[in-house]
Structure 1
């Protein structure tokens, strides 16, 4: 069945973008998350791009795997300005910083990085 409603297509893209951002922020690769939710990494990519619609059941699995509530994926939907890119370069950098921070196993090093970021934010 063809999807002709532009609003529905934008909703699919919005939810997919939220999945993508949260997956990256939590340090999951596409392969890791797709294995947890029982789909191929290509299918997950289609979900993230909004090419394929996500069933409610699959969205619940994704939310559980990413330790969030399903409502997270809908937050801000009404206010979303679809003329702007889903994820900006600045947002990508924030996600990358978050992923790298989570890889630091030493708590003293995590504290040092956090202190550095706090001090740099006061300078700007």
Structure 2
């Protein structure tokens, strides 16, 4: 049987986290590929989850993207409940969705550049006051 296998949900998740972090750094697929010694097409396949990232390549990717390897597995599907401890039981894909959007990415980059913690707090308060949600952060 030569049926095409669908990507593993963990591989898709890890790939989406690679894409998220690469975009947060403003790095192109070409630049990440160069740093890892592979083509941008291979980066595309990793980010879509169609190709699995091996352990040594994932470690190298984490180094290049300046995150711990665990970053790629945060909120991964199928996390055993006992491993979650007191963590909430719902996935936080909305954070990834937001940071993957151009608005979310721009807002995040600009927000990170604000050094004064009081100013950042006032911005959070402003955004909350403009939203329909009155839930405190």
The normalised TM-score by structure 1 is 0.70
Q: Distance in 1 between matches of 2:122 and 2:128?
A: 10
The normalised TM-score by structure 2 is 0.64
Matched residues, number: 114
Structure 1 residue ranges without an equivalent (≥5): 105-109
Higher relative contact order (CA 8 A, sep 6+): 1
What is the root-mean-square deviation of aligned Cα atoms in Å?
3.5
**Residue by residue, what CA displacement relative to the aligned partner does 1:59-111 show, whole Å, maximum 9, x if unpaired?**
011000011111111121135989x78953x3312123334x39x7xxxxx56
Matches within 5 A, 1:77-96: 77=76, 78=78, 87-88=96-97, 90-91=98-99, 92=101, 93-96=103-106
Structure whose alpha-carbon radius of gyration is higher: 2
More helix by share: 1
